[in-house]
């Protein structure tokens, strides 16, 4: 189950990166991966039982992560993190949180919620 619906993604978050036909699946996948990044604390507590600040940050993080994975998904699964040919070098920057590759924007949204802290 996604923490964000299509209406929130399009109207509140305001993104059009993911095509309509793929949007529900991508939002579900992003929500599942946010659960991994937060050590399933949202599942355990329930989104509605989080503070309004935490809820909003989680929803934004789902949207940002869904866009990130949709745009860069093929590169995230590559076994190579960089490539060099002569004087040209290319490397892919991503952050790993809870075993999930994501962007710094996502981790920056989740960090102040306290949900990604390894301590109990």
Name the band, by pLDDT with cuts 50, 70 and 90, for residue 95.
confident
- 31-80: pLDDT as tens digits: 999 999 999 999 999 999 999 999 999 999 999 999 999 998 876 765 56
Domain spans, the chain: 6-113
For the record, the structure tokens of 52 come out as: 């309004």
Residues in the chain: 120
For residues 88 and 48, the answer to whether their CB atoms sit within 8 Å is no
What CA dihedral angle connects 49, 53, 58 and 60, to 10 degrees? 140
Tell me the average pLDDT of the chain: 89
Name the band, by pLDDT with cuts 50, 70 and 90, for residue 86.
confident
């Amino acid at each position: 189950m996604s923490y964000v619906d299509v209406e929130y993604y399009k109207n509140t978050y305001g993104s059009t990166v993911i095509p309509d036909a793929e949007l529900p699946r991508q939002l579900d996948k992003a929500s599942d991966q946010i659960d991994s990044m937060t050590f399933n604390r949202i599942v355990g507590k329930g989104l509605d039982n989080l503070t309004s600040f935490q809820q909003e940050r989680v929803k934004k993080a789902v949207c940002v992560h869904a866009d990130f994975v949709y745009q860069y998904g093929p590169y995230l699964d590559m076994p190579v993190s960089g490539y060099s040919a002569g004087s040209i070098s290319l490397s892919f920057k991503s952050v790993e949180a809870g075993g999930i590759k994501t962007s710094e924007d996502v981790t920056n949204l989740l960090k102040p919620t306290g949900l990604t802290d390894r301590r109990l």
